[in-house]
Structure 1
């Protein structure tokens, strides 16, 4: 990764970023940037100097995001690994988990289903570290991370698994 002048604005450096591969739709350049707080970004940029297209964002605490960006925020498919070992794979909107995906806590608990505004919200299934779903089964409609109504929802779980797989595939083969 080339290091750019951190004192200059991102927009003024976009023209200097190397074109290492062909950018995706809407992106104009591919390159890297290191922020003052040691956060690093490698990926595609738009003409306004915003992260836009596919990219890799590594935070100083070890948290990292690989996936799609739109006008500077995670939006589309992506994978987010937290420093504590938790991770999320799936859909993002305006910087939040939003849509279908899979979230794993550091203790091994997994939720496959729907998210809204960064929270478990909608239909889904919880699986514990021992591969059980709890008794009674923790499947149904969740709101603000709490199970409100029990309901089987295999189609939602399958869609979450598909979105997570698509996000992983994109991360494994970004360009």
Structure 2
């Protein structure tokens, strides 16, 4: 294989993790694919250098889900995260953590009082501020990830 070629196939790892998708000429996951971990977590979306990268959707065995941007295997950029209990965060992520501007919506549809919208650092609410543009971008990125992954 030349370093620029892309092939499609599947591979089951020793720990029962299964990858189905595109591979680059170096034998690394690259392009679009599906990764099913042995613990029940799954990822559909982009890969680069063998890691989740670009747009994708990660679903967890407890019902939690993230739709959005990934970098080097982490939630990173804009996206939406739903906990298993229905609470969600729409906004910015860094290194797999809620970090930046965004909005919390509780399972009953409320945002709290006062509204839990503003700046978050390492999953903690730090400062109240209007984040309308960030929330809209996170929703758009999540919708684009769903379209890329053929999710309803």
TM-score for both structures, normalised by structure 2? 0.95
How big is the shift at 1:60?
1.1
Aligned partners of 1:27 and 1:53 also within 8 Å: no
Aligned to 1:167, the other structure's residue is in SS state helix
Q: Max radius of gyration: which structure?
A: 1
Unpaired segments of 5 or more residues in structure 1?
Answer: 1-14, 16-25
> What is residue 97 of structure 2 aligned with on the other side?
119
Q: What's the secondary structure of 2:27's corresponding residue?
A: coil
Partner of 1:147: 125
Equivalent pairs, count: 149
Question: CA 1:143/1:27 → structure 2, altered by over 3 Å: closer, same or farther?
Answer: farther
How far off its partner does 1:27 sit?
A: 5.5
State TM-score, norm by structure 1.
0.83
What RMSD, in angstroms, separates the aligned Cα atoms of the two structures? 1.2
Residues 1:61 and 2:39 aligned together? yes
Report the equivalent of 2:64. Answer: 86
Indicate the residue corresponding to 2:144 in structure 1.
166
Q: What secondary structure does 1:166 align onto?
A: helix
2:110 corresponds in structure 1 to 132
User: How far apart, in 2, do the equivalents of 1:147 and 1:58 lie?
Assistant: 32
Task: Give CA-to-partner distance per residue, 1:79-107, whole Å, 9 cap, x none.
Answer: 00011110000000010000000000111
From the superposition, tell whether residues 124 and 27 of structure 1 become closer, same or farther in structure 2 (CA, over 3 Å).
Answer: farther
**Residues in 2 aligned to 1:165 and 1:108: alpha-carbon distance in whole angstroms:** 18
Q: Which runs of 4+ in 1 moved over 2 A?
A: none
What aligned pairs does 1:90-105 form with structure 2 within 5 A after superposition? 90-105=68-83
Rounded to whole Å, the distance in 1 between the matches of 2:124 and 2:38 is: 32
Partner of 1:23: none
Asked if structure 2 preserves the Cα contact closer than 8 Å seen for 1:27 and 1:44, the reply is no
